[in-house]
Amino acid sequence: MNIDKSHMDKVIHDLKHYLPSQAPLKDFIHHNTLHAFQKYDFHVGLNKANKIFGYKTYLQIEDYRRLYNEGKINKKIVERFLPENDSVLWWNKLLNEKFDENSSPRCGELRSQWKINYQIDLDSLVHPTLFRVLSSYLDQGISIWNFPVIKGGFLNSLKELESNQFVSFFKSDRVKKLLNDEPSIAFLLKILVGDEQYFEHYLFDQQFSHPGYSGMVSVLSDNTKALIDERPIKLEDFIIFELLLEIDALDNYFGSIWAPLGSKINTVITPIFDEVEKTELTEIRRIWQESFEWTYYDEVLNGLVNKQFSEEKNAQLQAVFCIDDRECSIRRYIESEHKAAKTFGTAGFFNVEFYFQPAHSDFRTKVCPAPVTPKYLIKEVETINVNSKDFHYHKSSHGLLLGWIITHTIGFWSALKLVGSIFRPVQNAAAVSSTRHMNPESELTFENRNGEKTDDGLQIGFTVSEMTDRLEGLLKSIGLVKDFAPLVYIIGHGSSSSNNTHYAGYDCGACSGRPGSVNARVISKIGNHPEVRKELKQRGIEIPESTHFVGVLHDTSRDEFAYFDLSVLSTENLKRHNENVIVFNKALDFNATERSRRFVVMDTNRNTKKVHSNVKLRSVSLFEPRPELNHATNTLCIVGRRSMSRGLFLDRRAFLNSFDYQVDPEGKYLLGIMNAIAPVCGGINLEYFFSRVDNQKLGAGTKLPHNVMGLIGVANGIDGDLRTGLPSQMIEVHDPIRLLAIVEHFPEVVLKTIQTNPATYEWFDNDWVRLVVIHPETRSLMLFKKGAFTEYQTNNQNLKQVDDLLGELIKEHNNLPVFELKN
Amino acid sequence: MSAFIPFFILLPTTAFLLSMLIPKAQERIMSILAYSSVGLQLLAAIGFSGFWVYNGMRPINLKEFSVYKTGNYDFFIDFYFDKVTMVYMILGAFVTFLITIYSRYYLHREEGYKRFFTTILFFFLGFNLIIISGNIETLFIGWEILGVSSFLLIAFYRDRYLPVKNAVKVFSIYRIGDIGIILVMWLSHHLWHENISFAKLHNAELVHEHLTQNSWVGLVIAMMIYISAAAKSAQLPFSSWLPRAMEGPTPSSAIFYGSLSVHIGAFLLLRMYPFWEFQTGFRVFLAISGLMTAVIATFVARVQSSIKSQIAYSSIAQIGLIFIEIAFGLEEVALIHIAGNAFLRTYQLLVSPSVVSYKIREQFYEFVPRENTIEDSWPKRFEYALYILSLKEWNLDSMMYRYLWNPLKKIGSSWKILNFKYVFYFAGSTVIAGIILLFFRDSIDEKYRFNLPIFFSLVGLMIVIKAFTERDSVRKSWTLIALNHITIAIAISFNEHFDFMHHVWYLSGIVAAWLFGLLLINRLRRIEWVSLDRFYGHVYEHPKIGFWFLISALALSGFPITPSFIGEDLIFSHIHNNQIGLAFFTALSLIINGLATIRIYARIFLGPHVKTYHEVAKRSS
């Protein structure tokens, strides 16, 4: 073999880089679907992805033209992107010329030669066996009779299984022998393809004919702990198995003598990663996309600089929410219902990073952002087990004789359950409820006094000074360092839904796809801790003794609050709290009503209580594919004081992160914020973006026919590849617009901050997230472009003022413009 | 009281026809029509059944009307209502009612909302027609409707490759079931000398008398019934289609393959019970095959790592047990079992997406690393072999390829040397020669005349295989299919003197459908490239042409929307009961004929769109 191993290793490494990196369903975390192209400028990357893999990365020209005709793309904005001298010509191209938008991807071209030159459809001969064996191996608990051997990895287990000598997955004797010879990938490629120049291209073609399974293997090979029931596997093993199956199919079809693919190629196959040409179409797409985005950005920026700038008042109620865009509207309602209320936003793990171990479980779950590896464990103790059961998932119903008895008896019970679940949906064992994450009556081992550690070195709970560090970090980063209200609510969020395979994507992204309830409770306990307060005082933050922190969980699909540990409140504070609850409940009713306008079928009317109870039903209804719309429509991330955005209607499209430049003049805390929002908010935004523009290849398609494979992924039907990305029900109302981060600070500080971390800087530098800074003193807008800030002038439209928001909401179920709210 | 029975057909028919008229955007009206009509059927069925039970549960037979009558041939629509009908009717209306309400929300904003409900109503019509039918001809109409609506629902996501491929696959298995029914109809003609009603089958003496005279005919009929029932109920050797049918939206899989459609095979056996009741050999066979299915399907279910295929195989196993119960004559036990299985699997399928959160949570709290199963106690080699075998579904799926499609393909491609053009001209000239010969029919020597039908039916078979394996010209393939029908007509004409009107019945619909289809293909060809070498997915841009082409394809394959359907039955009545070869070739011709037309439709209009300016799914998804 003259092809060296390091070359093949590099190909495997590249493959892993380009394959989808979606974790098993239980850990669904949003990320930039095209992360592999992030090293290029946004438009260059999109063009490459289109040409190489055939992904649709923009809307169709027809769609942009329709948006233009509907006034959703502004003429003046388009003109900014046209060359000055021949704008007439370009207008004609934009509006009238017909373009060939068909894509002919490079990936897949080489392997299609099997069909052309050999008249053999390898995929349909190989895929069913390949998928079935892999999914049985990885299966986490659907099959009753598990893969009989899990020993020494995928290929070794297969070998052991094949040793039975009666039945085999292969037909060809040569292949059966090959399996035992531990062949290398290069060796098998030599048989199949022959010509070494095609090896890389062939592997890409092959693996991208089923990116779902390959991506899953790639993820699991890097992190075996991603599965509860561990399954060691390497991408190389999987590829070898597939190559063997291909040789087997060919042997079976042509006998043992056939010429390798490379010898029969008589056309020019462009190497997969050759330079991608820019065409006129790519330019047209760029102009339309930028115009579409800037039409919206301009409206928002215009609103931010033209609205009344309200100075902060002394607050009677303070509430810290997650940065999540779904909290954008509830904050608005709380503030309008309670004039002396002030809300904050920050990443929803509230600066406490740890593993959480529920009572009665031997497993831990990470409740902080995915890239963080915590050193702490917090256990839930002193509680009873409240898991309920449902026999419909029980294995015995699939047995022969037990099944016979069950169908004769319980089968009729199913009929009643069916009627019940259709006419009177209620919370049930099968549904996901955000409140089940943690029992509110339980105790949490959040404090470490004697240095207890677990066997594998995790510290149980935080020490007092560690707690103080975290509380200080939280308060300083959101700019809450004085004027504490008597009650400070820390509100995490989670989501309840039914019959939802993607449930993990509905919870808090900053808590690794889990509800933020434990974090909210822990940080509140820390905030109420007398010793922490004492130490905090020494560090310059004085929290009055009369102030209490209250942990809360906001269920975003049901719009309910659950309050934790109210027993620590003083009598006055309990009274205040009861008054606040009335405010919260009213705000939740309004919030549910605002959300309901997107559900179209729901009757939106002024009776907010009634609408709210209908909204709650969605979360427990089996037949409801949209319990909530999750992050759909997200486009903004505002980092600054609440006064910047307070009173502005942003239609639940903004991630809101509180930050006060006065508290952090050097950008120390800003760095943490920017490091988080680029991958978290940017990741969410781009996953929605790409799932929206190509819901078939980059999204998961409609979820209605989805079939659960091995509890790790979904596929269509039983022979399909795993589907990655988001289902169409999650993205259908989303407009593909990149995230615009708006930061209130001095441009030079922001520039220095984002440049500190190259990984973060890449997001902004290559325009995958756009960045505008609002100068805190002059209030002028500075746009980040090619490594520097330049002043940005808005189109100066009139900012519409609205009295009756509810009236506006009822009128329209699509995106609403930016309003200034008058009351 | 019996006058009320046609209502159970009229109501679904009306609902189905009305649903075609509702504009696409009217989700609300569409769903209200669907659930209210099915709900009304449910209420009526319950009311009627109550009344019927109160009146002593005497089976009702209602000869509705004759569609075509000549000599001792009478094609009539007949209805029958007994205990089996009652259970199936209430079960069907109940499940369909719940599913329509469920889907009302579930499919909201889905592309094809209307198509979904129209197809469900079409299915509902077919289902009711089958269970209420009073003779095999009426049943066959419903049977065909069920087949087509199944095809349409499996291929509901028609812009993806796998649903379309699997829809064609399932359709072809259903066609095998159709062979059974067609041959049963043929043999019944000769056994009873009339189109017998199910009511008459209950006359034990009559049945017994005929069967003792023609015992082999009785056995063949029983076996044909078994093939039809096994195909529809996914019993051995056809089981592998059921999990592959689960490509549509989950509720449609639940209603079709979880509950109603899959139990129709059991219905056929129950309905024909008086016919095979005294054939002990058949009963033993039925019980053994049921047991084998039950055992094998259980093992396959145990190794499934996907939730829907696991439910599918568990259901197949239970239906295997149901077949045993039927073989033992335990009608009531079987009926209860059928209802229980239908409810359980429907619900399990509907809640199948929840399995992720439920099981992950269960694992999180009660994880047992690897549970030992019974198989672990067996010798390793045996365990591994059985595991691989079960994972490969006992080769059931590949067997279908090896013994059914590959031979056909091989025959088709072995004639590749015969340039398609020659086949075309050969077929054309054979047909013309045949017609000329027919004029001199009586002067042909008896010796040759006896062989001419076989000759022409073989030519017909060859023509249709060529049409089925053609990879290039749509129009030629389409025309060959029409020629196949004409060759069959010629073949039968040599067999027996009969009324020219029979030809008119048979061919009128065929010719009209052929012409109409040709017109549509020509129209499409003016704007698009069409061929049969791959799926083209033209329905994306040309849904109207696609719809009308589907209609013409159905008509061309003898679907009960043109007189050709009755013509087919007529044609068979002219094949004598000692001409098994002729009957078999003719039936095979018709089967492949139906496959070839649906294949043309699928290749031109369904599958991933050939144009990629919009989102197109990967082939593997």
Domain ranges of chain A: 8-18+107-264, 40-105+276-299, 316-384+428-811, 391-423
Indicate the pairing of strand B73-81 with strand A355-357.
unpaired
Last residue of a domain, one of B342, B358, B374: B358
pLDDT bin (cut points 50, 70, 90) of residue A128 is: very high
> Residue A199, Cα to own-chain centre: how many angstroms?
34
For range B508-533, the mean pLDDT: 92
Q: What is the pLDDT of residue B498?
A: 67
- The reply to whether B617 falls in a domain is no
What letter would DSSP give residue A390?
Answer: -
**Percentage of chain B modeled with pLDDT above 90:** 53
**Percentage of chain A modeled with pLDDT above 70:** 97
Question: Measured between alpha carbons, how far is A727 from B151 in angstroms, rounded to an integer?
Answer: 25
User: Higher confidence at residue A449 or residue A17?
Assistant: A17
With H, G, I as helix, E, B as strand and everything else as coil, classify residue A649: strand
- The reply to whether B391 falls in a domain is no
For range A110-114, the mean pLDDT: 93
A48-62, A289-303, A564-578, B71-85: the lowest-pLDDT one: B71-85
Q: B91 and B210: one domain?
A: yes
Q: From the CB of residue A187, how many other CB atoms can be counted at a distance below 10 Å?
A: 15
Q: CB-CB: which of A160, A209, A708 is closest to B306? A: A708
Residues A675-711 as b or e (16 or more Cβ within 10 Å = b):
bbbbbbbbbbbbbbbbbbbbbbbbbbbbbbbbbbbbb
For range A503-524, the mean pLDDT: 91
Sequence-separated (6 or more) residues with CB below 8 Å from residue A176: A162, A168, A170
Give the pLDDT confidence of A752-803 residue by residue, as tens digits.
999 999 999 999 999 999 999 999 999 999 999 989 999 999 987 788 888 8
For range A70-90, the mean pLDDT: 90
Contact (Cβ atoms closer than 8 angstroms) between residue A357 and residue A379:
yes
Q: From the CB of residue A286, how many other CB atoms can be counted at a distance below 10 Å?
A: 18
> Does residue B610 register a pLDDT over 70?
yes
> Does residue A701 register a pLDDT over 80?
yes
| Residue of chain A whose alpha carbon sits nearest to that of B362 | A387
> Does residue A310 register a pLDDT over 80?
no
Structure tokens at A717: 């039907």
H/E run at residue A648? strand A648-649
For range B614-620, the mean pLDDT: 91
Side chain identity at A699, as an amino acid letter?
Answer: G
Structure tokens at A492: 């995490």
Q: What is the pLDDT of residue B64?
A: 76
| Residue of chain A whose alpha carbon sits nearest to that of B616 | A696
Q: B156 and B287: one domain?
A: yes
CB contact under 8 A, B373 and A144: yes
For range A720-724, the mean pLDDT: 94
pTM above 0.80, yes or no: yes
Question: Measured between alpha carbons, how far is B313 from B294 in angstroms, rounded to an integer?
Answer: 9
How buried is B52 (Cβ within 10 angstroms: 0-12 exposed, 13-18 middle, 19+ buried)?
Answer: buried
Structure tokens at B506: 């048979």
For range A236-242, the mean pLDDT: 96
Structure tokens at A179: 């399996």
Give the pLDDT confidence of B544-563 residue by residue, as tens digits.
999 999 999 999 988 888 88
Give the pLDDT confidence of B211-241 residue by residue, as tens digits.
777 778 888 889 999 999 999 999 989 999 9
For range A192-217, the mean pLDDT: 95
pLDDT bin (cut points 50, 70, 90) of residue A823 is: low
Question: Measured between alpha carbons, how far is A104 from B611 in angstroms, rounded to an integer?
Answer: 10
Q: B87 and B233: one domain?
A: yes
Phi and psi, residue A169, nearest 5°: -75, -15
> Does residue A601 register a pLDDT over 60?
no
Nearest to A418 by CA among B31, B101, B32, B49: B101
pLDDT bin (cut points 50, 70, 90) of residue B184 is: confident
| Residue of chain A whose alpha carbon sits nearest to that of B167 | A717
> Residue A360, Cα to own-chain centre: how many angstroms?
29
Residues of A in contact with B607 (CB under 8 A): none
Report H helices in A694-804.
728-731, 747-756, 758-765
Average pLDDT, whole number, for chain A?
A: 91
CB contact under 8 A, B302 and A503: no
> Does residue B74 register a pLDDT over 60?
yes
> Does residue A547 register a pLDDT over 90?
yes
For range A48-60, the mean pLDDT: 95
Question: Measured between alpha carbons, how far is A666 from A750 in angstroms, rounded to an integer?
Answer: 9
Compute the nearest-CA separation of A188 from chain B (Å): 23
Question: Measured between alpha carbons, how far is A58 from A291 in angstroms, rounded to an integer?
Answer: 13
For range A35-58, the mean pLDDT: 95
Give the pLDDT confidence of A393-433 residue by residue, as tens digits.
777 778 888 888 888 888 888 888 888 888 888 777 777 88
Report H helices in B214-279.
215-232, 241-244, 250-253, 264-271, 273-276
Question: Measured between alpha carbons, how far is A13 from A208 in angstroms, rounded to an integer?
Answer: 14
Q: From the CB of residue B362, how many other CB atoms can be counted at a distance below 10 Å?
A: 16
> Does residue B370 register a pLDDT over 70?
no
pLDDT bin (cut points 50, 70, 90) of residue A603 is: low
A665 preceded by cis ω (within 30°)? no
> Does residue A517 register a pLDDT over 50?
yes
Question: Measured between alpha carbons, how far is B184 from B200 in angstroms, rounded to an integer?
Answer: 16
Q: From the CB of residue B216, how many other CB atoms can be counted at a distance below 10 Å?
A: 8
Contact (Cβ atoms closer than 8 angstroms) between residue A444 and residue A521:
yes
**Total number of domains constituting chain B:** 2
List, as one string, the DSSP characters of A242-292. HHHHHHHHHHHHH-S----GGGG--S----TTSPPPP-HHHHHHHHHHHHH
Compute the nearest-CA separation of A336 from chain B (Å): 34
For range A601-609, the mean pLDDT: 71
> Does residue A2 register a pLDDT over 60?
no
Structure tokens at A295: 């039409």
Question: CB of A387 within 8 Å of any CB in chain B?
Answer: yes
> Does residue A805 register a pLDDT over 70?
yes
Contact (Cβ atoms closer than 8 angstroms) between residue A353 and residue A346:
no
Question: Measured between alpha carbons, how far is A22 from A44 in angstroms, rounded to an integer?
Answer: 24
Nearest to B320 by CA among B348, B343, B307, B301: B301
Question: By residue range, what is the domain housing residue B543?
Answer: 415-605
A455-464, A484-493, B404-413: the lowest-pLDDT one: B404-413
Question: Measured between alpha carbons, how far is A56 from A381 in angstroms, rounded to an integer?
Answer: 50
Q: What is the pLDDT of residue A312?
A: 63
Indicate the pairing of strand A740-744 with strand A365-366.
unpaired
How many residue contacts between A and B have a Cβ separation below 8 Å? 338
A39-48, A591-600, B129-138, B593-602: the lowest-pLDDT one: A591-600
pLDDT bin (cut points 50, 70, 90) of residue B417 is: low
Residues of B in contact with A129 (CB under 8 A): 392
Number of residues that make up chain A: 823
Sequence-separated (6 or more) residues with CB below 8 Å from residue A256: A172, A174
Indicate the pairing of strand B60-70 with strand B73-81.
antiparallel
> Does residue A379 register a pLDDT over 50?
yes
Question: Measured between alpha carbons, how far is B311 from A444 in angstroms, rounded to an integer?
Answer: 41
Phi and psi, residue B79, nearest 5°: -115, 150
Question: Measured between alpha carbons, how far is B475 from B524 in angstroms, rounded to an integer?
Answer: 11
- The reply to whether B366 falls in a domain is no
CB contact under 8 A, B613 and A101: yes
Compute the nearest-CA separation of B487 from chain A (Å): 32
Q: What is the pLDDT of residue A387?
A: 64
Q: What is the pLDDT of residue A385?
A: 63
Give the pLDDT confidence of B134-175 residue by residue, as tens digits.
988 899 999 999 999 999 999 999 999 999 999 999 999 998
Structure tokens at B544: 């109207």
CB contact under 8 A, A100 and B613: yes
For range B11-39, the mean pLDDT: 93
CB contact under 8 A, A141 and B359: yes
Distances, alpha carbon A341 to alpha carbons A335, A529, A652, in Å:
5, 24, 19
Contact (Cβ atoms closer than 8 angstroms) between residue B259 and residue B343:
yes
Q: What is the pLDDT of residue A490?
A: 97
Compute the nearest-CA separation of B376 from chain A (Å): 8
Question: Measured between alpha carbons, how far is B79 from B323 in angstroms, rounded to an integer?
Answer: 25
> Does residue A600 register a pLDDT over 70?
no
Q: What is the pLDDT of residue A461?
A: 93
3-state helix/strand/coil string of B105-120? HHCCCCCCHHHHHHHH
Indicate the pairing of strand A443-444 with strand A487-494.
unpaired
Q: Give chain B's count of helices (H) and strands (E).
A: 27, 2
Question: CB of A758 within 8 Å of any CB in chain B?
Answer: no
Question: Measured between alpha carbons, how far is B262 from B231 in angstroms, rounded to an integer?
Answer: 9
Question: Measured between alpha carbons, how far is A173 from A430 in angstroms, rounded to an integer?
Answer: 47
Q: What is the pLDDT of residue B559?
A: 87
- The reply to whether B552 falls in a domain is yes
Q: What is the pLDDT of residue A64?
A: 96
Contact (Cβ atoms closer than 8 angstroms) between residue B158 and residue B550:
no
Contact (Cβ atoms closer than 8 angstroms) between residue A718 and residue B306:
yes
Q: What is the pLDDT of residue A1?
A: 46
Residues A200-226 as b or e (16 or more Cβ within 10 Å = b):
bbbbbbbbbbbbbbbbbbbbbbeeeeb
Q: What is the pLDDT of residue B536?
A: 94
Contact (Cβ atoms closer than 8 angstroms) between residue A638 and residue A645:
yes
Q: What is the pLDDT of residue A413?
A: 86
Compute the nearest-CA separation of A805 from chain B (Å): 27
Give the pLDDT confidence of A139-171 residue by residue, as tens digits.
998 998 989 988 889 999 999 999 887 899 999
Most confident of B37-41, B345-349, B434-438, B564-568: B37-41
Indicate the pairing of strand A341-346 with strand A459-460.
unpaired
Give the pLDDT confidence of A462-477 residue by residue, as tens digits.
999 999 999 999 999 9
Average pLDDT, whole number, for chain B?
A: 88
Gyration radius of chain A's alpha carbons: 28
H/E run at residue B401? none
Nearest to A300 by CA among A801, A654, A731: A654
What letter would DSSP give residue A23?
Answer: P
User: Higher confidence at residue A600 or residue A442?
Assistant: A442
Q: What is the pLDDT of residue A386?
A: 62
CB contact under 8 A, B612 and A705: no
| Residue of chain A whose alpha carbon sits nearest to that of B111 | A702
Q: Give chain A's count of helices (H) and strands (E).
A: 28, 21
